[in-house]
Structures are given as structure tokens and as C-alpha cells.
């Protein structure tokens, strides 16, 4: 369905295509509110080489993702980084994000994060600053799905957070 709002090329577009002069700096985050589980299920997809670059600069130059050299410490660094850069408020109050884990899909890193005990969703404010300190043109796209609606946000350095109201 109309899930992804924009720039789907990311999923299918190589980092450097045969003809593109510029790399695309974009991540896509899908958030689904599952009411019966009182849960916000978050899946965020980021280019592996971009996130590797930022982790190397911030934490440890030897970090190597999706290779045999990948360490558990790197996973900790990733968790720390994502939880620092992604912040969510539900119904006006900041909520705790649980990092569940990550996997790789071709050249994308796919991270899973959950917010529990969301009994009701009236408003949500999402801040996603992932990679913005590294790439000024970074865009982080958010797709939010609730039982009633689908909404999208495009976040960038000028506007790294956005608020959605329901009902």
C-alpha cells in the first residue's frame, strides 16, 4: 500500500549508479502503531557504509560493519548512536526506546526499535538526526502507520523533528 512516501530509490538504487553524479544521503524509518500490543514498532533502514563512516569517526576507526571483523562492541556503539539520534515523544511525553537488534539487507543496515506501553496515540513527535552531523544533505524519511492512517515526514538538518496529530 502507500507506505513509502518518497525516494524509494534507496531500496533499489545503488550508492553510485551508472550515471548519477551524486550519492543519495537518505534513510527510511517505518513506524507502525500496533494498538493491540500497545507497541510502536520501528524499523529504520540506513546505508551500511554511511553508518559505518559515522561510527568510525565517533567511536572507533576499526569498526567494520557487515564483515567478519564486526564486533559486539560495534553493535553497542550502533545502539548508543541510534538511541541518541532518534527521539520520540508520545502524547507530549518523551518515551523510552528499546533497541532490539539489527540485520543487513544487501547494502542497508536494518535496525529494530520498540516503544512499549503506548495505550493511546494522540500525538507523536519524532526527531531523527541520524547521519546529519556527517552529511549536511542527509534526509531522514519517516513513514508512520496507525490502524486508521498513514502519514509521512521528511526530516533534514533544518527541521530534524516533526509532529503528527491524530483524531
Partner 1 sequence: MRLLNSLFLTALFLVSAAVSAQDETETTKREPGHYNTNRFKQLYEEFSTPNMFRTASGAPGPSYYQQQADYKMDILLDDKNKKISGFETITYSNNSPDILEYLWVQLDQNKRAKDSKSPLIESSDTAPADMAGNFVQNYMDGGFDGGFNILEVKDAKGSPLKYTINQTMMRVDMPKNLMPGEKFVFSIKWWYNINDHVVDRARSGYETFEDGNRGYVIAQFYPRMAVYNDVEGWQNSQFWGRDEFALPFGNFEVNITVPSDHIMDATGELQNRKEIFTKEMMNRYEAAQKSFDKPVLIVTQAEAEAASKNFSTTNRTWKFKAENVRDYAFATSRKYIWDMMAVKMGSGSVMAVSLYPPESNPLWEDWSTRAVASTLKTYSRMTFDYPYSKAISVSAKNQGMEYPMICWNHGRPDKDGSISERTKFGMISVIIHEVGHNYFPMIVNSDERQWTWMDEGLNTFTQYVAEQDFAEEYPEAIAPNKKYPSRRGPAKSIVDYMAGDQSQLAPIMTKGLNTYNFGANAYAKPATALNILRETIMGRELFDFAFKTYANRWMFKHPTPEDFFRTMEDASAVDLDWYWREWFYTTDYVDIGVKDVKKFYVTSKMNKEVKEMIAARGISESDLPPLVYMVEEDSEDFDESMRNEKLGDVKTLNEYIMENIPAEERSKLKQPNYFYKVTFEKPGGIPMPIIVQYTYSDGSSKKVTYPAEIWRKNDEAVGKVVASEKEITKIEVDPDEETADIDTSNNSWPKRKKLGAFDKFKNKTNPD
Smallest distance from partner 1 to CB 81, Å: 19
Does residue 157 touch partner 1 according to CB under 8 A? yes
* Cβ neighbours, 10 Å, residue 44: 24
Nearer to partner 1, 146 or 156 (CB): 156
Nearer to partner 1, 32 or 38 (CB): 32
Task: Give CA–CA dist 165/157, Å, rounded.
Answer: 22
CA distances from 127 to 20, 76, 90, 162 (A): 29, 21, 12, 7
- Binding positions for partner 1, 89-148, rule CB under 8 A: 100-101, 103, 106-107, 112, 114, 136-137
Closest to partner 1 by CB, 103 vs 148, is: 103
Q: What is the 3-state secondary structure (H, E, C) of 65-128?
A: CCCCCCCHHHHHHHHHHHHHHEEEEECCEECCCEEEEEEEECCEEEEEEEECCCCCCCEEEEEE
Find the binding residues for partner 1 in span 2-61 (CB under 8 A).
2-9, 11-23, 32, 41-43, 48-49
Residues lying near partner 1 in the complex (CB under 8 A): 1-9, 11-23, 32, 41-43, 48-49, 64, 66-69, 100-101, 103, 106-107, 112, 114, 136-137, 152, 156-158
Amino acid at each position: 500500500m502507500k507506505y513509502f512516501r518518497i525516494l524509494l530509490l534507496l531500496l533499489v538504487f545503488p550508492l553510485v549508479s551508472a550515471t548519477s553524479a551524486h550519492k543519495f544521503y537518505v534513510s527510511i524509518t517505518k513506524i507502525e502503531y500496533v494498538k493491540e500490543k500497545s507497541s510502536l514498532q520501528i524499523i529504520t533502514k540506513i546505508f551500511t557504509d554511511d553508518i559505518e563512516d559515522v561510527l568510525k569517526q565517533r567511536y572507533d576507526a576499526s569498526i567494520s560493519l557487515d564483515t567478519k571483523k564486526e564486533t559486539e562492541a560495534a553493535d553497542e556503539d550502533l545502539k548508543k548512536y541510534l538511541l541518541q539520534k532518534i527521539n520520540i515523544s508520545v502524547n507530549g511525553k518523551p518515551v523510552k526506546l528499546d533497541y532490539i537488534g539489527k540485520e543487513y539487507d544487501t547494502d542497508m543496515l536494518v535496525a529494530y526499535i520498540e516503544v512499549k506501553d503506548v495505550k493511546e496515540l494522540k500525538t507523536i513527535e519524532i526527531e531523527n538526526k541520524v547521519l546529519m552531523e556527517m552529511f549536511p544533505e542527509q534526509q531522514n524519511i519517516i513513514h508512520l502507520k496507525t490502524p486508521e492512517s498513514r502519514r509521512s515526514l521528511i526530516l533534514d538538518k533544518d527541521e530534524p523533528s516533526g509532529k503528527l496529530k491524530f483524531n
